[in-house]
Amino acid sequence: MTKIADAFGKEKNALMPYFTIGYPDYQTSINVIQACVDAGADLMELGMPFSDPLADGPTIQHSTQVALENGITVKDCLKAVAELRENGVKIPLILMGYINPVLAYGMEKFVTDAAQAGASGFIIPDMPPSEAKEMTEFCEKSGLDIIFLLPPNSSDERMRVVTELSRGFVYLVSVLGITGERDALPVALSAFVAKVRKLTQKPLAVGFGISTPEQAAAVGEVADGVIVGSALIKAVGQADDPVGAAREFVQNLKEALS
Catalytic residue among 42, 56, 113, 145: 56
Q: Is 56 a catalytic residue?
A: yes
> What's the rounded Cα separation, in Å, for the pair 27 and 61?
19
Distance CA 170, CA 174 (A): 12
Please give the Cα distance from 228 to 213 (Å, whole number). 10
Question: Is 241 marked active-site?
Answer: no
One-character DSSP codes across 89-109 = --S-EEEE--HHHHHHH-HHH
Q: How many whole angstroms separate alpha carbon 234 and alpha carbon 191?
A: 30
Residue 227 makes CB contacts below 8 A (sequence gap 6+) with: 16, 17, 18, 45, 171, 205, 206, 207, 208, 210
Helices (H), the chain: 3-6, 26-38, 58-69, 74-86, 99-105, 107-117, 133-142, 156-165, 189-197, 213-220, 230-238, 242-257
- Looking at 42, 45, 76, 224, which residue is catalytic? 45
Handedness of CA 71, 128, 202, 194 (dihedral sign): positive
Q: Which residues are catalytic?
A: 45, 56
